[in-house]
């Protein structure tokens, strides 16, 4: 499985969103809708609170002004994990991580089991629930623009430069630089650097992201008593269990064979004993049960 050290991904691209710069204008949403030629929004039943749906790949999440002193807007879209849970979960392998850094979905392979939706720690993949034959829909980091060597449309559209696009390595440096130059403003943490094995889309914030973005953070892990997993990607966490299965296949089947042989021998020995003493009551009892 791929990991942070995967050489193929060393030059992978990513996005960095500075939460303090976002003004919530939704230009990125508009650009995404235009670029992907997305149809009208679904009726509200198929739209979740965070605004993402089968027809919206990105959205702006706002903090509840009633609850928080600081109102912040954050872009929500696929984080394009370095070791994606959806990729490991998909039973036909419809997801792939491109060297570009994007996690792409192949609709031609999908069977519609929705396991990727269950597996995604950020709850990003969406489903076309109103279609008789539905597909998974999610942000693909704008494959068309990337193919031409350009930026994703949402990044170009951002008027304040809250979202920037570039090599993940460079973005990390930019983020560190920003934290260094303005330590009073930012929380000293780059969300996405290590979360779930690292993500290609990262966030820099002055407010905890689990409140604004409803993103699972380390506190969440601590609360759930799985803190040892906080820095690991989900695939690497469950990987050992996957390889138990082939071992189990060999072990159980051969074990059963051995048990059968052993029991057989014992039964045969018993039978021989019985044959030598005809009129044994055991045999009669056996028949009675039927």
Using CB under 8 A, which residues numbered 110 to 149 contact other proteins?
A: 110-115, 117-119, 121, 123, 125-135
Residue 11: name the closest of 138, 98, 103 by CA: 98
Least distance (Å) between residue 157 CB and other proteins:
10
Q: Choose the stretch contacting other proteins; rule: CB under 8 A; options: 8-16, 140-148, 201-209, 245-253.
A: 245-253
Question: Judged by CB under 8 A, how many residues of this single chain contact other proteins?
Answer: 80
Give the residue with the Cβ less far from other proteins, 72 or 126.
126
Out of 4, 220, 231, 274, the only residue in the binding site for other proteins (CB under 8 A) is: 220
Tokens read off for 178: 């920003």
Residue pair 234/242 in contact (Cβ under 8 Å)? The answer is no
Residue 110: name the closest of 130, 125, 121 by CA: 125
Give the residue with the Cβ less far from other proteins, 43 or 279.
43
Residue pair 112/126 in contact (Cβ under 8 Å)? The answer is no
Q: Which of residues 255-274 bind other proteins (CB under 8 A)?
A: 256-257, 259-260, 263-264, 267
Out of 70, 71, 185, 252, the only residue in the binding site for other proteins (CB under 8 A) is: 252
Q: How far apart are CA 233 and CA 229, in angstroms?
A: 8
Decide if residue 15 touches other proteins (CB under 8 A).
Answer: no
Tokens read off for 220: 């969440």
Give the residue with the Cβ less far from other proteins, 241 or 272.
241
Out of 74, 78, 81, 90, the only residue in the binding site for other proteins (CB under 8 A) is: 90
Residue 70: name the closest of 207, 192, 187 by CA: 207
Q: Which of residues 53-72 bind other proteins (CB under 8 A)?
A: 53
Residue pair 212/74 in contact (Cβ under 8 Å)? The answer is yes
Least distance (Å) between residue 18 CB and other proteins:
18
Out of 6, 46, 68, 208, the only residue in the binding site for other proteins (CB under 8 A) is: 46
Give the residue with the Cβ less far from other proteins, 25 or 187.
25
Strands (E), the chain: 13-18, 59-62, 73-76, 95-97, 103-105, 126-127, 136-137, 163-167, 190-191, 201-204
Decide if residue 49 touches other proteins (CB under 8 A).
Answer: yes
Q: How far apart are CA 31 and CA 163, in angstroms?
A: 13
Q: How far apart are CA 152 and CA 76, in angstroms?
A: 15
Give the residue with the Cβ less far from other proteins, 17 or 58.
58
Q: Choose the stretch contacting other proteins; rule: CB under 8 A; options: 64-72, 90-98, 165-173, 200-208.
A: 90-98
Give the residue with the Cβ less far from other proteins, 174 or 221.
221
Backbone φ/ψ region at 161: left (φ over 0), alpha (ψ -120 to 50), beta: left
Least distance (Å) between residue 206 CB and other proteins:
21
């Amino acid at each position: 499985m791929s990991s942070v050290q995967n050489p193929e991904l060393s030059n992978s691209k990513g996005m960095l969103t500075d939460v303090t710069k976002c003004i919530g204008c939704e230009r990125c949403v508009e650009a995404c809708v235009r670029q992907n030629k997305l149809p009208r929004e679904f009726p509200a039943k198929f739209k979740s609170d965070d605004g993402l749906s089968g027809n919206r790949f990105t959205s702006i999440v706002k903090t509840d002004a009633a609850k928080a002193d600081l109102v912040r807007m954050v872009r929500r879209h696929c984080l394009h994990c370095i070791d994606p849970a959806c990729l490991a979960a998909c039973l036909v392998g419809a997801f792939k991580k491109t060297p570009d850094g994007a996690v792409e979905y192949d609709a031609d392979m999908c069977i519609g089991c929705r396991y990727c939706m269950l597996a995604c720690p950020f709850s990003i993949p969406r489903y076309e629930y109103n279609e008789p034959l539905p597909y998974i829909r999610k942000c693909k980091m704008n494959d068309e623009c990337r193919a031409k060597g350009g930026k994703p449309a949402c990044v170009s559209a951002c008027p304040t430069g809250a979202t920037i696009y570039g090599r993940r390595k460079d973005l990390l440096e930019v983020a560190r630089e920003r934290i260094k130059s303005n330590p009073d403003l930012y929380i000293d943490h780059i969300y996405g650097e290590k979360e779930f094995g690292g993500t290609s889309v990262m966030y820099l914030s002055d407010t905890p992201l689990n409140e604004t973005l409803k993103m699972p953070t380390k506190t969440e892990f601590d609360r759930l008593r799985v803190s040892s997993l906080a820095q690991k990607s989900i695939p690497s966490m469950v990987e050992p269990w996957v390889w138990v299965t082939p071992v189990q296949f060999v072990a159980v089947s051969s074990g059963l064979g051995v048990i059968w042989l052993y029991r057989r021998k014992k039964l045969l020995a018993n039978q021989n004993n019985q044959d030598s003493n005809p009129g044994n009551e055991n045999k009669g009892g056996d028949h009675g049960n039927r």
